[in-house]
Amino acid sequence: MMTFKHAARALHSEAKSSGMTPLNGKFIVFDGGEGCGKSTQARLLQQRLEAGGARVLLVRDPGSTRVGEMIRGVVLDPDHGEIVMRCEMMLYMAARAQMMGEIILPALADNQVVICDRFVSSTLAYQLGGDGLSADEIRAVAEIALRGRWPDLTLIFDMPVEHSRNRVRAKFEQRTETLFGEQVKVVKDRIEQRPEAYHEQVRQNYLAQVERDPERHKLIDGAHPVERVHQHVVQAISQVLGLDL
Ligand code: TMP
C-alpha cells in the first residue's frame, strides 16, 4: 500500500525529474554583515537548485535593475557624505520597489525560485535608529515597496564583527573581485567606511530580527568552512519551509 510518505516522495522525485523543485515560487533572502559569506552561499544554492533543474533568479539589493543599479551608485558613493539617514533609507526602498515590480514579482508569478542577496532585513539592521528611525516606520515603507510580498525565509549569516571585518580587509588588499560575472574594482563604500561600533550595532540588529520572528528568519553561523555552511543553509531551508531539498 502506498503511504502518504511514499506518495510525497514519489511526487518529489517526479517533480525533480520534470525540472520542478519544491522551492518553486519561493522567495529566499541571504543577509548579514559584510564579509559573512552570504553572497558566496547564495550562489552555491543557486548552482545546487539549477543542477536539479530549477529556474532560479538571483538578485542583489540594492541593484539588479537599471534604475536600481543607478540608485546603488548614488547611495554607496563615498563622495555623497551629505545624504541624510531618511533619504538613505528611502533610496534603498526605492531601489527595492523597482526590483520587486520589474523582476521579483514577475519571477515569482512565473514559479521561479527567487534568491535575493540582502533585502529589508538590511535596512532594519543598517538604518534602524539612524535619525530616530524605528523598525515600525521602516516596515511601513517596506510594505509599500514590496506590495505586501515579504520573503518566505530570511537567512541571517552571523559571525563576530572582528572576524568579518578581517575578511573585508583581505578583500580590499586584493583590490578587485568578481561580482555578478564582472571584474570590479574594490573601494570602501559609504557604509563600509563607518566605524567598528556601527557594524557591531548592525550585527545586534540582525540578531534581534531572528529573535523577533523565528518562523521566517534563521541564523546561520558564517564562521564555518564554505561547504559546511552550505549544508546548514540547505538544512535550514528544508526545515523552515518543510521541504525535502
Ligand atoms: P553589498 O551589497 O556589496 O553588501 O553592499 C551594500 C551595502 O549597502 C552594504 O554596506 C550594506 C548597505 N545596505 C544598507 O545600509 N541598507 C540596505 O537596506 C541595504 C540593502 C544595504
Statement: residue 191 has pLDDT above 60: yes
CA dihedral 10, 56, 168, 220 (to 10 degrees): -30
The span from the CA of 175 to the CA of 188, in Å, is 10
192 pocket-lining for ligand 1 (C-beta < 6 Å): yes
Closest CA to 122 of 142, 105, 100: 142
CA angle 216, 180, 33 (to 5 degrees): 45
Q: Which atom of ligand 1 is nearest to the CA of 190?
A: 10
Predicted pLDDT of residue 171: 74
Strands (E) across 70-148 are located at 113-117
Three-state secondary-structure class, residue 12 = helix
Q: Is 126 in the pocket of ligand 1 (CB under 6 A)?
A: yes
In the chain, pLDDT over 70 holds for what percent of residues? 87
Locate the ligand 1 atom nearest the alpha carbon of residue 120 and give its number: 18
Give residue 62 CA to ligand 1 midpoint distance, Å. Answer: 7
Residue 180 has a pLDDT of 66
Q: Which among 167, 180, 184, 191 is the best mutation to test ligand 1's pocket, defined by most ligand atoms within 8 Å of the CB?
A: 191
Q: Which residues lie below 8 Å from residue 214, measured CB to CB, with a gap of 6+?
A: none
Provide CB contacts within 8 A for 152, sequence distance 6+: 26, 27, 28, 216, 241
Name the residue among 189, 63, 200 with its Cα closest to residue 126. Answer: 200
pLDDT at 5 over 50: no
pLDDT at 169 over 90: no
Interacting residues of 190 by C-beta distance below 8 A, sequence separation 6+:
75, 76, 77, 78, 80, 81, 83
Residue 7 binned pLDDT confidence (cut-offs 50, 70, 90): very low
Decide if 62 contacts 71 (C-beta within 8 A). Answer: yes
Smallest CA separation from ligand 1 atom 21, residue: 122
Cα 6 from Cα 42, distance rounded (Å): 31
102: which DSSP letter? I
Query: Is residue 123 lining ligand 1, measured as CB closer than 6 Å?
Result: yes
Query: What confidence category does residue 128 fall into, taking pLDDT thresholds of 50, 70 and 90?
Result: very high
Q: Check residue 59 and give its pLDDT.
A: 98
Residue nearest ligand 1's atom 3 by CA? 34
Question: Can you tell me the mean pLDDT for 1-15?
Answer: 43
In the chain the domains, ranked by start, together with CATH numbers, are: 23-240 (3.40.50.300)
